[in-house]
Amino acid sequence: MIPYLFIVVPCPYVYSSATANFALPMSLFTVIAPKLNSPYIHQMNFTVEKALPFGMVATAGYVGKLEHNLVQMLQENPAVYIPGQATLANTNQRRILLPGIYASVRQIATNSNSAYHSLESSLSRRFSDGLTFMATFTFGKLLDYYSAQNLGQTPQNPFNERLDRARSDEDRSRVFSLSFVYEIPFLRNRRTLVAYVLGGWSISGLVTAATGLPVFVTSGQDFSLTGVGFDRPNLLGNPALSHSNRAAEIQEFFNTADFTANLPGQYGTAGRDLFSGPGLSNTNVSVVKRFRISERLGQLQFRSEFFNLFNQVNFGQPDGVFVDKTFGQIQTSADPRILQFALRYQF
């Protein structure tokens, strides 16, 4: 193998300002904190259980979790706001660390915590007479300082990240779930042609209902002129709205007039995840029929599956970026009703 085949040999490199391979300031500089601590969790629970007639069991209890030393991204080189002089164009010349040489310096640290507290209850029935089910309801709250999935987000105020403590982006305060399986007894044990065709059906399903995920409202622009890039606007009042119809809900899910741009040199007064987005309600059902052929040849299984059986509309999150023209509007939704049929051979 010939090294540098068809490529100009880069060594020795002779610096020339005319052919420099990089330019200042250096940006998107990400470093590891001098000390990284191992995360640890405290888990707590207390549950009471009661056996009920017809093979049912009811439970209720407290479930909690405290997580410490979670990973978080911090902005370690914000810009200093200078009244009358600060602009977006001179942001890097106002950085606190080597201005003009270093731009953004992000640090990966382990100084974030989270806390989860909930009341969880359930009612279940063991499989008997062809029926089993489990219904659960959870009322809880998940708090944290940081919920981003890609480590790209930093606290609004790099000098006080604890101001970002709020509901987690993944928090749903109330969640109900019901799963069931029912073997329809009609003609189950008859040995006739009619029973072979019409009997042996079973139905199973999953019903889910939950309150919405929090809406994270951001400025979408560096109004503070601090080079952090995660400003939040100022909050003037309660942004919650009641909607007379679905069209109004889509057009303005929350009161956008209650938000104004934060001022230069200042961070916005709106906290993280102030209110919940649209809730969730969905029912999936599967109907199954088994045709037994023989002990040696096995059986055929016919399945019909109905996703979002009642064709319920589940909206996506409203646009939470203040500078967007679609601020406050809902532009997405989950899948409508979908039907799926399958024939499966088991042996």
- Domain for residue 9, yes or no? no
Distance, in Å, from the CA atom of 31 to the CA atom of 54, rounded to the nearest integer, reads 61
- Domain for residue 4, yes or no? no
- Domain for residue 7, yes or no? no
pLDDT band for position 12 (cuts 50, 70, 90) = confident
Total number of domains constituting the chain: 1
Distance, in Å, from the CA atom of 235 to the CA atom of 312, rounded to the nearest integer, reads 33
User: By mean pLDDT, which of 145-154, 190-199, 263-272 is the weakest?
Assistant: 190-199
Domain that holds residue 214: 24-346
pLDDT band for position 2 (cuts 50, 70, 90) = low
- Domain for residue 3, yes or no? no
The 3-state DSSP class for residue 340 equals: strand
Q: What is the DSSP letter of 313?
A: -
- Domain for residue 17, yes or no? no
- Structure confidence at residue 93 (pLDDT): 94
324-330 long-range CB contacts below 8 Å, 24 or more apart?
A: 324/220, 327/256, 327/259, 328/252, 328/253, 328/254, 328/255, 328/256, 329/250, 329/251, 329/252, 329/253, 330/249, 330/250, 330/253, 330/278
pLDDT in tens, 302-315: 889 999 999 999 99
- Domain for residue 10, yes or no? no
Contact 285, 311 (CB under 8 A): no
Average pLDDT for the chain: 90
- Domain for residue 270, yes or no? yes
Residue 226: name the closest of 82, 107, 31 by CA: 82
- Domain for residue 15, yes or no? no
- Structure confidence at residue 3 (pLDDT): 60
pLDDT in tens, 150-172: 777 899 999 998 899 999 999 99
